[in-house]
A and B are shown apart, each in its own frame.
Chain A
Amino acid sequence: MSWLIFAVVFWLVAWGVNSYAARVAGRNRWVRLFVPTLFGITVLVVWEAVIKGLQVSPIILPPPSAIGAKLASSLPVLWGDLVQTFFKGALSGYLIGCGAAVLVAVAIDRSPFLQRGLLPVGNFVAALPIVGIAPIMVMWFGFDWQSKAAVVVVMVFFPVLVNTVAGLSASDRMQRDLMATWGASYWQGLWKLRLPAAMPFIFNGLKIAGTLALIGAIVAEFFGSPTRGMGFRITAEIGQLGLDMIWAEIAVAALAGSAFYGLIALIERGVTFWHPSQRN
């Protein structure tokens, strides 16, 4: 009972602090960092206290402390899973898929006919539940990371293609005319004007694809995998009701996902430093 009271009190106090901080100094940079952090801590504390207070079984929801302990004690296993799923499966598929999409976009750039044909098809495919091809890819490429990479390739291809094609037409008429008056060839125009101008669009596609890549690699492992990998660990631990391990995997997946996103955003800032959205 005392745990429940503690949870309610902690929640009310944190809420009070956050409202006060937001009202008094909502524009301050440190406050903008502090408020969501306190919110996250509050969620964890209330979670822990409610589970202790109501004595929820750990096979329904383990407390964060147990998840943290599991995370710390099984780092080698988690690292192995991360390498298998993220670096081998998701990342290789991501690089192949995004590279192919950009190349195809450049290749069809000269043909408005192909663009008008491929864009609607690409938009259509991008909305489909492509993860469903996972069992087919597992059948074709075996249980190891190659099949996961293949799923990721298909998943990331169309969003990046559609965004790149849109980006390649983003430069102004005037800018293209300027290139023409300088006697620039098609390739010079592409390299010096239209590709740089397309970068904000391409990075938008790359960011969307980053999330999709991790989803694709994990879901593909639900359909068959070697005895390592995040998706494998999640399905295997479900059988043993090891929910703390599953939560640990999810925490790692969340960290890897945000770190990857952050990396893409960093590269974007370096490449598109000239774009208004990157200037403060």
Chain B
Amino acid sequence: MNRLLPILTVVAAIVVLWYGAAVWLNGPWVQDQAARAGVTVSGMDFVGQTMTQDRPVLPAPHQVIKGLYDGVAGQAITSKKSLIYHGWITLSGTLLGFVIGTGLGILLAVGIVHNKAMDLSVMPWAIASQMIPIIAIAPMLAVVMNSLGASGIVTKAIISAYLSFFPVVVGMVKGLRSPDAMQLDLLRTYSAGEATTLGKLRLPSSMPYLFASLKVGIAASLVGAIVGELNQPAGLGARLLSGSYYGQTVQIWAALFAAATMAALLVVGIGRIETVTLRRMGMAR
């Protein structure tokens, strides 16, 4: 309760501010309509009308929740209006790309840790790539992959993989180097080879670093999938773009909240796996 109360207060304050902003931003339209009809609206009537518009400037929270509910529960899940349908398309691309990016990232990190030349050549570029807006290549990758005949999910997955790749490389290199000299020396006195050291010492002790970068990576993957969908027919990114073309603000906000929920579930899911794994390995803090 001691931890929940402040959070609930802040969330409640945000909701109140949001309603206030909805009245403020949607008000001019109501006044405009009323002026055209030659009537005056005031008081609760005015407030009520700012929250029931079809295309409000800022939909009130309950309109967004209704949009979300309609999208999730109000449609058959095969329908083009269903958020579950679009969400699944985004999620599948995200997860495929995340698995590819993470796998390649771990492999490269193992290579970097074991090969001095690779470390010196690749590592500065991997670090530099984190300051670069990689996402700018997403639309181009999408076109190139299309012209090469790749399907939509593969295109998205490649963008997602690319975005999750570098955080995992950087995090895993740090993790694989985290055993201290004493531990490495101990394994050398056991005359353990590189492979044994990797399997029995380096990989286990890199787990906290791995999970930290997985959380960053999955969020980046989702952003990549959404941006990769901007020129595709389906997915949450496509929902965002079509909503912005047709001024369907409720649709945009519903898609946005669906994406946010998905991101939260993915990060929390990885956090859960992290807790369980670290506890089983006796590394829980």
Interface residues of A (CB under 8 A from B): 15, 18-19, 21-23, 26, 31-32, 35-36, 38-40, 59-61, 113-118, 120-121, 124, 127-129, 131-136, 138-140, 210-211, 214-215, 218-219, 222-224, 230-231, 234-235, 238, 241, 243, 246-247, 249-250, 253-254, 257-258, 260-261
Contacts and interface: CB of A to CB of B under 8 A. Distances in A.
Interface in B241-280: 241, 243-244, 247, 249, 252-253, 255-256, 259-260, 263-264, 267
A127 B215 contact: yes
Given A60-B148, A128-B264, 17 more contacts: A22-B120, A36-B124, A114-B6, A114-B10, A116-B3, A117-B6, A120-B7, A124-B264, A132-B259, A135-B244, A211-B133, A214-B133, A218-B135, A234-B136, A238-B143, A246-B137, A253-B132
Contacts, number: 158
A135 B6 contact: no
B117 A19 contact: yes
B153 interface: no
Given A218-B133, A235-B139, A139 B147 contact: no
A22 B139 contact: no
| Interface residues of chain A: helix, strand, loop or mixed (majority) | helix
Contacts of B124: 36
B83 interface: no
B230 interface: yes
B141 to A, nearest CB: 10
Nearest to B124: A36
A257 B135 CA distance: 12
A222 B132 contact: no
Contacts of A222: 139, 227, 230
Given A117-B9, A246-B140, A223 B244 contact: yes
A59 B226 contact: no
Contacts of A23: 116-117
Nearest to A35: B120
A230 B135 CA distance: 12
Interface string B7-28: 1111100100000000001000
The DSSP consensus for interface residues of chain B is helix
A243 B8 CA distance: 49
Interface residues of B, number: 56
Given A35-B120, A257-B131, A129 B241 contact: no
A243 to B, nearest CB: 7
6 contacts: A21-B120, A116-B6, A128-B260, A131-B226, A243-B144, A258-B131
A35 B230 contact: no
B244 A258 contact: no
Interface centre among A19, A32, A61, A222 (most CB of B within 10 A): A222
A142 B130 CA distance: 30
Nearest to A136: B252
A250 B136 contact: yes
B190 interface: no
A261 B247 contact: no
B13 to A, nearest CB: 8
B120 A36 contact: yes
Contact of B135 (A18, A38, A40, A215): A215
Contacts of A214: 133
Contact of A223 (B144, B219, B241, B249): B241
A18 B247 CA distance: 56
A136 B117 contact: no
B226 A254 contact: no
Nearest to A254: B132
B170 interface: no
Q: Which of B10, B148, B264 is the most central at the interface, judged by chain A CB atoms within 10 Å of its CB?
A: B10
B209 to A, nearest CB: 17
Contact of B140 (A118, A128, A224, A234): A234
